[in-house]
Chain A
Amino acid sequence: MLKSSKPYFGILVFPGTNCEMDCFYVLNNILKVNCKYIWHQETKDDDVNAIIIPGGFSYGDYLRSGAVAKFSPIMSFVRDFALNGGLVLGICNGFQILLEENLLPGAMLRNNTLKFICKYVNLKVEDINNPFTSNYKKNQILKMPIRHNEGNYYIDKEGLKKLKENNQILLRYCDENGIVNSSTNPNGSVENIAGICNEKRNVFGLMPHPEACCEKILGSDDGINIFKSMIEYISKLQ
């Protein structure tokens, strides 16, 4: 599937997406890699070798976050792309879309605080053996912003067991010392889960916004390594 080794990112845009320009800025201006927007009405794209589904409120979050976006024409291409091993990163609403599309297991509930949360949180890197967090150190503590209303990740017991067995939990909410417990859980997510990948490890969804913390001037540049990890992974492919 990944025919080119030169990174070329496609950033999906749905009606209501609002973080696409931040992703474009990080990739194009900071990391100097090729990228382009892909409007949701497109049915395919032959150029890109990584897809980002950015944050926002696709279709106004009507019905459930991400529930309507999964029926956009581009999503069947994304599905095939992912099933063939292509890298797909879903940020916030993008994560919700990937869950609704069943490219990742589980579902999102409303935050247990019943509040829209917009703040910096700490995250613990639980796994680095994947194309998305390989540039971090295991157990590294990151600082990234979250801004969501439905980030309360839910998965049943059996699903959780599978996630753990396969090391699919990549990020958990913690405090600045790496403590993971209910007091460091901002939204009620099962076991403080902030980001997971699929079994094949080529699809990653996370609620925090790495694209919003890629330069020190913004308060943190901890997000940049997610994009760098992806770029390195693609560049190493034959």
Chain B
Amino acid sequence: MLKVNVYVTLKDEILDAQGLVIKKAIKQIGYDNVNEVRFGKFIQLTIDEKNKSEEEIKKEIDYLSDKLLANPNIENYKYEIVRD
């Protein structure tokens, strides 16, 4: 079994309103050294390898991310594969 951690964030050029609000709250707590906050989603997939190569698995994750997990018009994704 593989665990795949997928991180989805808004593209840099898109104003992240949630990130701005979080940044404001951090400042209210008293930390003024946090310059930027980007808000995103964390999705964890547990995948049965079924004798597939890592390359094949990566292809599947890319496909799923482009098609469903992220919207390529507004979001970027990256992922890491973690072996138990």
Q: CB within 8 Å of B: which residues of A?
A: 63-64, 67-68, 71, 99-100, 106-107, 109-114, 152, 154-156, 188
Contacts and interface: CB of A to CB of B under 8 A. Distances in A.
A100 B21 contact: no
Main secondary structure of the interface of B (DSSP, over half): mixed
Contacts of B21: 114
A152 B14 CA distance: 11
A71 B68 contact: yes
B71 A110 contact: no
Contacts of B71: 64, 67, 100, 107
A109 B69 contact: no
Interface in B18-44: 18, 21, 41
Given A107-B74, A114-B21, A154-B74, A63 B15 contact: no
B68 A112 contact: no
A63 B17 CA distance: 17
Residue from B21, B41, B71 with most neighbouring chain A CB atoms (10 Å) = B71
A101 to B, nearest CB: 11
B53 interface: no
B73 interface: yes
Nearest to A66: B71
Main secondary structure of the interface of A (DSSP, over half): loop
A155 B15 CA distance: 12
Interface string B52-74: 00000000000000001101011
A109 B14 contact: yes
A154 B73 contact: yes
A107 B71 CA distance: 8
Given A106-B73, A107-B74, A109-B74, A188 B68 contact: no
A117 to B, nearest CB: 13
26 contacts: A63-B41, A63-B69, A67-B68, A67-B71, A71-B68, A99-B73, A106-B73, A107-B71, A107-B73, A107-B74, A109-B10, A109-B14, A109-B17, A109-B74, A110-B17, A110-B18, A111-B17, A112-B15, A112-B17, A114-B17, A114-B18, A152-B17, A154-B73, A155-B73, A156-B73, A188-B17
Contacts of B73: 99, 106-107, 154-156
